[in-house]
Chain A
Amino acid sequence: MILQEIVHLYNRVGFGISPSEAKLLQKQSRTEIVTQLFDASRNAEPLSIELTELITTLKGLKMKDRKKIRALFKESAKKIHEMNIAWLYKLASTEQLLVEKMTLFWANHFVCNDKNIVHFQDYQNTLRKHALGNFKEFVIAISKEASMMKYLNTRQNKKQKPNENFARELMELFTLGRDQYSEKDIKEAARAFTGWNHDIMGNFRLRRRQHDYGEKTFLGKTGNFDGDAIIDIILAEKQCAQFICEKIYRYFVNDQIDTLHVSEMTELFYKDYDIGKLMRFVLTADWFYDEKNIGTKIKSPVEFLIGIHRIVPMQFEKERELVYLQKLLGQHLLFPPNVAGWKGGRTWINPNTMMLRLRLPSVLLAKGEIALDEKGEFEDDFQRFNDKRNRQRRLKVTPDWEAFKLNHKNITNKQLQETLLVSPLNRGTKQYLDKLADQDLPQYCIQLMSLPEYQLC
């Protein structure tokens, strides 16, 4: 496989690749490399943080101790931040690239947020477990996650008083896309999900007395459907396969849909909803490596940050600063803006985030200063709000240049450039880079990362 294709593949299923790794892979064929990616991603390692104490306390409580539960998780709010950081570290170090990238994708598809870290961690790992599995099992499993049932009010959905929130989002965001069903379909589907609930540990429970066992008419079919049956009926619509394939195409291939390629994907996916098979098809397809698909996507903030880290490992002294960077760049993992998730693409970029991205490599890797103060939290008192504003400051980050040098022995500037930049180069930029050709590698690396071209993958 040629270098450009290797880099492209790793940009999309991971966070880029180092020149030396890419060099090694050049001897292998496309199928071999893709197979290795899949093999590495088998049995996804869960994301887990230390929760023993919390789980013990939780087990001692009853569902009706609502106030106590709420207090417990208010107390443990910092655990969510711990999980946020743990996720970033996982992305920074994992060798299970494909499944982790898919998890990022699904987390922005089955969007959810929860204060209960015990439930939220389960939700997270359900994403991992099914990320390359069967889509139908995935939809059912994620719908039964306690975090999801809270986030979309499935718990409040009772026979006596149906709540349509989940049924609506299930169709609009998770499976079919907008306007593919009627309001009546939503009402009928909502009835089928009545009584869905969970116990204190987050296990799924059907509350029979709240479940509507009656007849429903949904998408033209009539029967005594329960929730699983509704999901079956939805997936029988080809539109569902197409909706998912379009989203995968936009995320992994190109912001602009190519209808021919998407319909190839849809035909395949509709057969058995096997996500792994679909991804293998995409990643081995010739069109995936078309010129027009290479270096055209704007990196998400997480792709940008992790991409830098995977080339020059960084140690953050204050994890708070890492949280702050995510917020400034516009993607704070685990805190999606709303149920539709981050829009991505060009919406990542405005004049402020653009300048920030261009500055960031020198701030992170060369002790550059940055004049960005965190917006105050609502809960902060005025003192804190008012302190230390309007200053340039340095982030407490230590780049590991030794590791960089070790990983880049015998790598030339040109080789580094070919792995870090894949988009077409603006010609002025190209001439500029030619002038820098004899700089030493770390300097050159920072220069490359500070270019608009580096924002693309």
Chain B
Amino acid sequence: MKRRDFLKQASLASTAMFLPKFVSGFNLIDDAIATGKKLVIIQLSGGNDGLNTVVPFRNDIYYKKRPSLAQQKSNLIGITDEIGFHESLIAHSNLYHNGELCVINNVGYPNPNRSHFRATDIWHTASDANEYLQSGWIGRYLDMTKSKSLDAIEVDDSLSLVMKGETMDGIATKNPQLFYRTTHDPYFKNVVSHHDDAHLSEHNLGYLYKTMVTATSSAKYIYETSKTYTTNTEYPKNEFSKQLKQVAQFINSGLQTKVYYTSLGGFDTHANQINKQKRLLKIYDEAMAAFIKDLKQQDTFKDTLILTFSEFGRRVQQNAANGTDHGTANQVFVIGKQLKKQGFYNPMANLSNLDNNGDLKYDIDFREIYTSVLNNWLEVDASKVINKSFAGVNIV
């Protein structure tokens, strides 16, 4: 066998698709392009040290617990008489002053888990600490609204738990062109289906074909729609910026997708935290600056809500390696043009009332935030997605 033919065949193999009638009749994309509200979720993965991000620079306990790690006032961007932002958060301080940022302090949940994996699952599934769910809150949002896979996109190569529902999963793609190329082959155009294979529609095989069609049609729609927009905003040259640039392209091109998910990793700063965190927050802040600028230029910022969280904050007491260990509650940033509450939603964490582990006791359950976002921004009944009733926080 000739090697070239072999490769060619092999690539054909991957996309050899034959659509039975029951799937070709399957409604692929909403007819009307949705222009509604968008939600962008960003995870600072690894556990960002919130206490050194939004800093209580008048608090003695803070300095006592962090002899070599505490941020000096002179290094901070002053926000209030008592609170300063980390020096890397330049764009965020501007957002704060524009009334486009709401900082929700001390967000957590009862009996916090300090494992990255477990804590991330809890945030993704909106579960209690002792409850193990296999579907994420965005996935269940898709289920409940009978949405399509492409209504929630994770800008990555594989799908996180947050995007997986009971019956519907979101789609992961980092590069729509590549995604399109993998799912579309010239060969596909020759697809013929003369026969009615209705008997397969209930069979698992029918399910596989349908999923395949979803992937293919989503890839086509995402690629063809998103390529109609090219940004002229300059983004920093790093992977996280590239992801946000991709999200902006999706939003600005009018993609129907409602929820986007992306993450920035590396926040697990057990040692030599100062420089690491400074660099990471800079990457985060600068990418956000470009992203928001891009959205504002197309007037899509007003319909976009950006939620930034980390699976946990870090221990109040620093460790011996000039770093911090896994902690509990942390702040959440909510960014948007239509915030009901701007600036600080609530007071900073009380550092004199720590749990047995020396960690913060949370004030606001993270599901309160999800509840408000679902009820007031995505306009669905949050209790059906969260499976529990929360009053919500008055932010949007």
Binding site for B on A (CB under 8 A): 255, 295-298, 327-328, 337-340, 343, 345-347, 349-352, 354-355, 358-359, 361-362, 365-368, 371-373, 375-376, 378-382, 385-386, 389-390, 392, 423-424, 426-429, 431-432, 439-440, 442-443, 446-447, 449-453, 455-456
Q: List 10 A-B contacts (CB under 8 A).
A: A339-B132, A351-B149, A351-B169, A358-B212, A361-B10, A367-B7, A368-B14, A378-B120, A428-B19, A452-B205
| Bitwise interface map of B from 172 to 210 toward A, beta carbon under 8 Å scored 1, else 0 | 101100110011000000011111010110011101110
Q: Which residues of B contact A378 (CB under 8 A)?
A: 45-47, 116-117, 120, 265, 268
Q: A368-B10, A382-B266, A432-B18 are known contacts. Are A350 and B169 too (CB-CB below 8 A)?
A: yes
A342 to nearest B CB, angstroms?
Answer: 9
B184 to nearest A CB, angstroms?
Answer: 11
A382 to B9, CA, bound (A): 39
**The 4 nearest A-B residue pairs measured at CB:** A428-B18, A382-B266, A366-B10, A338-B132
Q: Which residues of A contact B242 (CB under 8 A)?
A: 390
A368 to B199, CA, bound (A): 34
Q: Does B394 contact A (CB under 8 A)?
A: no
Identify A350's interface contact among B46, B164, B265, CB under 8 A: B164
Q: Please, which residue of chain A has its CB at the minimum distance from the CB of B238? A: A386
A385 to B46, CA, bound (A): 11
Q: Which residues of A contact B279 (CB under 8 A)?
A: 382
Binding site for A on B (CB under 8 A): 1, 5-7, 9-16, 18-20, 45-47, 116-117, 120-121, 132, 134, 149, 156-160, 164, 169, 171-172, 174-175, 178-179, 182-183, 191-195, 197, 199-200, 203-205, 207-209, 211-212, 214-215, 218, 238-240, 242, 264-266, 268, 276, 279-280, 283
CB of B134 within 8 A of CB of A343, answer yes
CB of A376 within 8 A of CB of B45, answer yes
CB of B1 within 8 A of CB of A380, answer no
Q: A365-B10, A366-B7, A380-B265 are known contacts. Are A428 and B158 too (CB-CB below 8 A)?
A: no
Q: Which residues of B contact A327 (CB under 8 A)?
A: 158
CB of A362 within 8 A of CB of B10, answer yes
CB of A297 within 8 A of CB of B204, answer yes
CB of A428 within 8 A of CB of B193, answer yes
Q: A368-B14, A385-B266, A429-B18 are known contacts. Are A453 and B158 too (CB-CB below 8 A)?
A: no
CB of A371 within 8 A of CB of B157, answer yes
Q: Which residues of B contact A426 (CB under 8 A)?
A: 18, 20, 197, 200, 205, 209
A426 to B240, CA, bound (A): 42
Identify B20's interface contact among A367, A373, A427, CB under 8 A: A427
A234 to nearest B CB, angstroms?
Answer: 22
Q: A359-B14, A382-B279 are known contacts. Are A446 and B9 too (CB-CB below 8 A)?
A: yes
CB of A456 within 8 A of CB of B16, answer no
Q: A368-B11, A426-B200 are known contacts. Are A375 and B208 too (CB-CB below 8 A)?
A: no
Q: Please, which residue of chain B has its CB at the minimum distance from the CB of A366? A: B10
Identify B208's interface contact among A337, A371, A452, CB under 8 A: A452
Q: Please, which residue of chain A has its CB at the minimum distance from the CB of B130? A: A165
Given contact pairs A351-B171, A373-B157, A447-B13, enumerate 12 new A-B contacts (beta carbons under 8 Å).
A350-B159, A355-B212, A355-B215, A359-B14, A368-B14, A375-B157, A382-B280, A390-B174, A424-B200, A426-B18, A452-B209, A455-B208
Q: Which residues of B contact A352 (CB under 8 A)?
A: 158-159, 169, 171-172, 215
CB of B134 within 8 A of CB of A427, answer no
Q: Please, which residue of chain B has its CB at the minimum distance from the CB of A377? A: B265
B40 to nearest A CB, angstroms?
Answer: 19
Q: Please, which residue of chain A has its CB at the minimum distance from the CB of B326? A: A378
Q: Which residues of A contact B215 (CB under 8 A)?
A: 351-352, 354-355
Q: Please, which residue of chain A has its CB at the minimum distance from the CB of B166? A: A347
A264 to B193, CA, bound (A): 42
Q: Which residues of A contact B6 (CB under 8 A)?
A: 366, 442-443
Q: Which residues of A contact B212 (CB under 8 A)?
A: 351, 354-355, 358, 452
Q: Please, which residue of chain A has its CB at the minimum distance from the CB of B46? A: A378
CB of A371 within 8 A of CB of B182, answer yes
A450 to nearest B CB, angstroms?
Answer: 4
B131 to nearest A CB, angstroms?
Answer: 9
A378 to B45, CA, bound (A): 7
Q: Which residues of B contact A367 (CB under 8 A)?
A: 7
Q: Please, which residue of chain B has its CB at the minimum distance from the CB of A350? A: B169
Q: Please, which residue of chain A has its CB at the minimum distance from the CB of B45? A: A378
Q: Please, which residue of chain A has its CB at the minimum distance from the CB of B218? A: A351
The CB with the most chain B CB atoms within 10 A, among A379, A428, A456, is that of A428
CB of A349 within 8 A of CB of B211, answer yes
Q: Which residues of B contact A295 (CB under 8 A)?
A: 205
